[in-house]
Amino acid sequence: MYAQLVHFLNTEQYIAPMLDQIVNARPLYHYNAITVDIRPPHHTLDHDNENIHINFINSLLSSNDPNSIQKGIFCTVYWAFINRNHGNAIQRSNEVNQNLPNNFQNIINDIKRHIVQEDYSQALQITIQLNGIGYSTGTKIVTFLNPNNCGVLDSVIANKVNLENLNFDGNNNLFTGIGMANGYITNSNNNIELYQRYCSWLSITSHFVNKQLRVNNWRAIDIERALYAIALDANNQLPMAA
């Protein structure tokens, strides 16, 4: 773990001021919990809640069955683009599916191996080598494989982080300089390395929230979603929960 993150963990005072904001933001935004059949006519299934959706995709990607893994990739890409529209999401999913290399199962297994080793940057590096998988979608695959310790990093969060210069440890911005081009996070080496710090921060913060609230159900993905809600709220784009 990076020295600044060790410093950050040992000085929880830097997380404490954000505690209420994070806890209050988490329930305000809910991701689409939709999966889709890989076969035409691509029937969709709307899961009752996010955790069912996460567990379903995780079970597909974690499987030893290549057909399940292929469906997991398809559903992840679909989920990444469903906010645009169903047709666009299906098109992008089919493009990735049609260009999967014959050894895609070995690639996913290699990603899993690096996740077990807590080398999330390398896991992401391998993921984005799949044709049609960009930075943000790559972080979604890694996150579905390990929601306890990883989170999605997309342009919404990146714009918020860059805008606010979030100096979480009091001295150095852990996420400084997220490279963007045409509104998207680039696949630069700096951004790949940054993902390791990002996941570490999410994981550390989730442990802090659990400690302060005396619960055990906050994961890295929950901190990421709180951060996403905070970013949307800053831009007046957050649909408030009833």
Question: 213: pLDDT confidence band, cut at 50, 70 and 90?
Answer: very high
User: In this predicted structure, what is the pLDDT of residue 83?
Assistant: 81
Question: 242: pLDDT confidence band, cut at 50, 70 and 90?
Answer: very low
Q: Report the distance separating Cα 217 and Cα 200, nearest Å.
A: 17
| pTM listed for this prediction | 0.90
Q: Report the distance separating Cα 139 and Cα 137, nearest Å.
A: 5
CA distances (Å), origin 199, targets 67, 115, 145, 223: 29, 11, 13, 10
Q: Report the distance separating Cα 233 and Cα 242, nearest Å.
A: 15
Nearest in space to 23 (alpha carbons), one of 172, 196, 155, 215:
215
User: In this predicted structure, what is the pLDDT of residue 35?
Assistant: 93
Q: What is the mean pLDDT of residues 79-88?
A: 90
Joined tokens for residue 48: 């009752």
Is the per-residue pLDDT at 48 higher than 90?
no
The percent of residues in the chain predicted with pLDDT above 90, rounded, is 59
Q: What is the mean pLDDT of residues 74-80?
A: 96
User: In this predicted structure, what is the pLDDT of residue 237?
Assistant: 54
User: What are the residue boundaries of the structural domains of the chain, listed by start?
Assistant: 3-30+150-234, 34-145
Question: 28: pLDDT confidence band, cut at 50, 70 and 90?
Answer: confident
User: In this predicted structure, what is the pLDDT of residue 234?
Assistant: 59
Is the per-residue pLDDT at 139 higher than 90?
yes
Question: 241: pLDDT confidence band, cut at 50, 70 and 90?
Answer: very low
Q: What is the mean pLDDT of residues 47-63?
A: 94
